[in-house]
Amino acid sequence: MQTGIIYDWDAPLIWEQRLAKAMDERYMRRRFEQTLQHGPVRECRIARVRRRGDQRAVIQYSLQWEATVGQAAVITANLYRGDRARHLVRKLSKQIPAEMLDQCPVFPVFGIPELRMLCQVFPMDRRLPGLAHLAAGPPRELLADIRAEAGVGDAVAVRRRGMIDGLEVRRTSVVRYRSGLSAVMRYDLDFTTADGGCETRSFFAKTQQEILDAEKLATKLRALRQLPTPLIGEQLFGLYPQWHAVVLRGVEGETLEALLQRGDASSCAERLARGLASLHNATPPAALPEYDSARQDAQRDRIAAKLAWACPDLAERIHHIAERVRGITSQQFAPSHLDLKLEHVFLEGDRLTLIDWDSCATADPMIDVAMLLARLAAAPVQANLAAGNYEAAARRFLNTYCELTPATWRTSLGQRYAAAVLDVAVGYFGRQEPRWKETVTHLIREAETALGGERCLASGR
């Protein structure tokens, strides 16, 4: 442990010093070990980083103890200015439900005083009131609804974990957790088939900070089902306001990400282009909100500030790109996904399905096109793979899409691509992906190429 540091709430550390220590995995490993007294910590890894200017930062750590190799605890740390962290530690420590103590490997709430840091251990999350209920496994009410829809009264147990209303759950797992914002839990159930065999079905419970967010997603999915496109499928299972959650049916097939890594995605990229063109050519449902470009400009300014903080050597170039993509004008508005990632595209035989429609709105269709191209540009750099397969998929996708949509739509594509690059780049840093710095540097060059009018995939020239 470093000397010369006062380990209490009145430690005279300025904001940048506290943030630097919080980003130091070795320092935090020692502090967690000392504070939790749960045995030697084998590994402390930063999994996510969010910064709110100079007022607040949120850092997710993955912690492994020597005694429980392979089992990681997720600890979310909130750094505040002033005395808010100390107040919240005292308040939340008195409000912990008894069942929460059984779910957490250590006490669910604690503080790191000298950093003015509030720490919560998953599934403790003061902003996600439904998380603890869903993290413990599918609740009784949900299992009853699943059984009623399936028309069966039993399931085949594969890995016994606990009997709930006559159903045994094969597996409960965390798909994604963004502390204070949202979490997605996966439930795998094995049902008996008519011939006595076994069929696995997956369900995903997505819990959000506000009930309204879950209601909006359910409304969007119902509206999208009315469109003449097969991209949505029957994903919505039900809305559960008591957990601020929407439950979705699992989608079968392989992701575009997996197919690309296997070198088998060029024809799939063409099918995605056709599917996306059919979505963009459809009349927007009245229930879809309109894309808020002013809000997105403000969000991108925050993204640029975060990237510049993470990569000070690129700061001037990042801010220049952000300035160039502010106030982009659109020629067309269409139903748009607005969060198109390689892992959101599923292919099963002739069926193509997109998942994660939370952000969808009536917007410039070039946002979807640009986002996919930016992710195709980033993926091989991040994974340290040859880029040829990704570039071929990008060309085939773009050429096919352009054949099916008006040329006037593409006037904004270069700027949209540069904007998408910033959105994608900050995600690699925020998730602390391997090779994130190399990926960000590559993406900044991509944005500059597009804005400079040089030949590139995004420009279509």
Tens of pLDDT, residue by residue over 304-324, are 999 999 999 999 999 999 999
For residue range 207-217, list pLDDT tens digits in order.
999 999 999 99
Lowest-confidence segment of 77-86, 108-117, 158-167, 423-432 by average pLDDT: 158-167
Do 47 and 192 belong together in one domain?
no
Do 31 and 55 belong together in one domain?
yes
Do 444 and 317 belong together in one domain?
yes
pLDDT exceeding 90 applies to what percent of the chain?
Answer: 72
Q: Strand, helix or coil at 278?
A: helix
Task: Give the closest residue to 116 by CA, choosing from 92, 84, 93.
Answer: 84
Do 447 and 310 belong together in one domain?
yes
pLDDT of residue 350: 84
Taking 90 as the threshold, does the pLDDT of residue 385 lie above it? no
Name residue 355's amino acid.
I
Name residue 393's amino acid.
A
pLDDT of residue 190: 81
Q: What is the number of other CB atoms lying within 10 angstroms of the CB of residue 278?
A: 15
pLDDT of residue 158: 36
With vertex at residue 366, the alpha carbon angle to CA 363 and CA 371, rounded to the nearest 5 degrees, is: 105
CB 371 within 8 A of CB 340: yes
Q: Strand, helix or coil at 428?
A: helix
Taking 90 as the threshold, does the pLDDT of residue 387 lie above it? no
Residue 79 domain-assigned? yes
Residue 456 domain-assigned? no
Tell me the mean pLDDT in the region 406-413.
93
pLDDT of residue 445: 96
For residue range 233-292, list pLDDT tens digits in order.
889 999 999 999 999 999 999 999 999 888 877 788 999 999 999 999 999 999 999 999
Highest mean pLDDT among 63-72, 259-268, 303-312, 445-454: 303-312
Domain end among 121, 139, 169: 121
User: Per-residue confidence at 159, pLDDT binned at 50, 70, 90?
Assistant: very low
Tell me the mean pLDDT in the region 174-201.
85
User: Per-residue confidence at 50, pLDDT binned at 50, 70, 90?
Assistant: very high
Encoded tokens for 169: 């759950």
Question: Phi and psi (nearest 5°) for 269?
Answer: -65, -35
pLDDT of residue 176: 96
Do 371 and 430 belong together in one domain?
yes
CB 342 within 8 A of CB 255: yes
Task: Give the closest residue to 303 by CA, choosing from 286, 317, 281, 319.
Answer: 319
Taking 70 as the threshold, does the pLDDT of residue 413 lie above it? yes
Do 112 and 144 belong together in one domain?
no
pLDDT of residue 461: 42
Contacts of 6 (CB under 8 A, 6+ apart): 12, 114
Tell me the mean pLDDT in the region 28-41.
94
Tell me the mean pLDDT in the region 430-438.
94
Residue 458 domain-assigned? no
**Whole-number Å distance between alpha carbons of 125 and 109:** 9
Lowest-confidence segment of 109-123, 427-441, 445-459 by average pLDDT: 445-459
- Between 348 and 456, the higher pLDDT residue: 348
Mean pLDDT of the chain: 89
Do 88 and 207 belong together in one domain?
no
Residue 366 domain-assigned? yes
pLDDT of residue 228: 86
The total number of structural domains in the chain stands at 3
Residue 10 domain-assigned? no
Taking 90 as the threshold, does the pLDDT of residue 13 lie above it? no
Domain end among 249, 279, 294: 249
pLDDT of residue 458: 46
User: Per-residue confidence at 199, pLDDT binned at 50, 70, 90?
Assistant: confident
Residue 460 domain-assigned? no
Domain end among 121, 140, 172: 121
Do 363 and 224 belong together in one domain?
no
**Whole-number Å distance between alpha carbons of 345 and 273:** 11
Q: Strand, helix or coil at 273?
A: helix
Do 268 and 313 belong together in one domain?
yes
Q: Strand, helix or coil at 125?
A: coil
Do 81 and 187 belong together in one domain?
no
Under DSSP, the state recorded for 342 is G
Residue 2 domain-assigned? no
Task: Please name every residue paired with 82 in a beta bridge, in sequence order, or none if there are none.
Answer: none
Q: How many helices (H) and strands (E) does the chain have?
A: 15, 17
Tell me the mean pLDDT in the region 168-175.
88
Write out the DSSP string of 14-53.
-HHHHHHHHT-HHHHHHHHHHHH-SS-EEEEEEEEEEEET
Domain of 421, CATH number, reads: 3.90.1200.10
Query: What is the residue range of 431's domain?
Result: 254-451
Do 245 and 258 belong together in one domain?
no
Residue 126 domain-assigned? no
Taking 90 as the threshold, does the pLDDT of residue 154 lie above it? no
Write out the DSSP string of 362-395.
EE-THHHHHHHHHHHHHHHHHHT--SHHHHHHHH
Do 305 and 346 belong together in one domain?
yes
pLDDT of residue 389: 87
**Whole-number Å distance between alpha carbons of 298 and 325:** 11
pLDDT exceeding 70 applies to what percent of the chain?
Answer: 91
